[in-house]
Amino acid sequence: MKLTVVIPAYNEEDRIVGTLRQTLAYLGGRPYAAEVLVVSDGSTDATGEVVESFAPPPGVSLQLLEYHPNRGKGYAVRYGMRRAQGEVVLFMDADYSVPMEEVEKGRALLEEGFDIAIASRTMAGSRIEARQNFFRELSARIYTLVQIAYLGIPYRDTQCGFKLFTRHAARRLFPLQRLDSVIFDPEVLWLAKRHGLTVAEFPVHWTHVGDSRIQYDSLRKSLFVFQELFRIRGLHR
């Protein structure tokens, strides 16, 4: 198995259709075997039934992983990454904000010898088709500055949901991950730094998709993000 694609999904019966259609079509045209693991994170809609209705092309396997109740994106990604069989393991968002063909940029970096390759919307060469609203972008900038100062990791876009790991890196890092929330990304990258794993960034084609399952529409939710961030060091003493 050359590539595993992990897709965390919570009540994605609508958007998962297009995401799987495009992902499976792309992988079906590749000269390597691949598997797609959709992790239904306590979905209460028909996400599971929709996934199981797809017939993958030759050379590609599709599996639904499902549990209840909802545990959070970090938990869902960890659940899938720990069950991946590919030499390279990618996790991507269910809204298909990053097209599947961007995986080749990350694979090329891993073949150069990096352990991890992460998509970054801030890099020169990135193409942003639709932007988030001003408040969300401003909040992201503030969060990034705090994250860099607190964790000492230099990445200016840890929250883009398109990251690749060698099998060795995935099996080393994800059993150590503790956060179940959306702030698991900087935790994993901080753990990579602690364990001497190398990380490369690559520019990405990204489109903002509305109706996000993760909303920061209140002060309480925004503060929660920082509370989670400041838990990371304590969780790994």
CA distance 98 to 105: 12
Tell me the pLDDT tens digit for each residue of 190-221.
999 999 999 999 999 999 887 655 555 556 87
Tell me the pLDDT tens digit for each residue of 20-66.
999 999 999 999 999 999 999 999 999 999 999 999 999 999 999 99
Quick one: pLDDT at residue 131?
Answer: 63
Mean per-residue pLDDT of the chain:
94
- DSSP 8-class letter at 13: T
CA distance 83 to 37: 9
Tell me the pLDDT tens digit for each residue of 103-131.
999 999 999 999 999 999 999 999 998 66
Whether the Cβ atoms of residue 21 and residue 47 lie closer than 8 Å to each other: no
Grouping H, G, I as helix, E, B as strand and the rest as coil, residue 166 is strand
- What is the CA 228 to chain-centroid distance, rounded? 17
Which is it for the CA torsion 22, 83, 103, 156, positive or negative?
A: positive
Segment holding 189, helix H or strand E? helix 184-194
Domain 3-235 falls under CATH 1.10.530.10: no
Which is it for the CA torsion 136, 139, 141, 143, positive or negative?
A: negative
Tokens (6 digits) for 232: 């990371």
Quick one: pLDDT at residue 91?
Answer: 98
Residue with tokens 């960890």: 78
Phi and psi (nearest 5°) for 13? -60, -25
Tell me the pLDDT tens digit for each residue of 136-156.
777 788 999 999 999 999 999
Task: Give the C-alpha distances (Å, rounded to integers) separating 23 from 28, 38, 120, 234.
Answer: 8, 12, 20, 38
- Give me the count of residues in the chain: 237
**Strands 205-207, 162-166: pairing kind:** unpaired
Q: Which residues contact 195 (CB under 8 A, 6 or more apart)?
A: 172, 173
Q: What is the pTM of this model?
A: 0.94
CA distance 96 to 16: 8
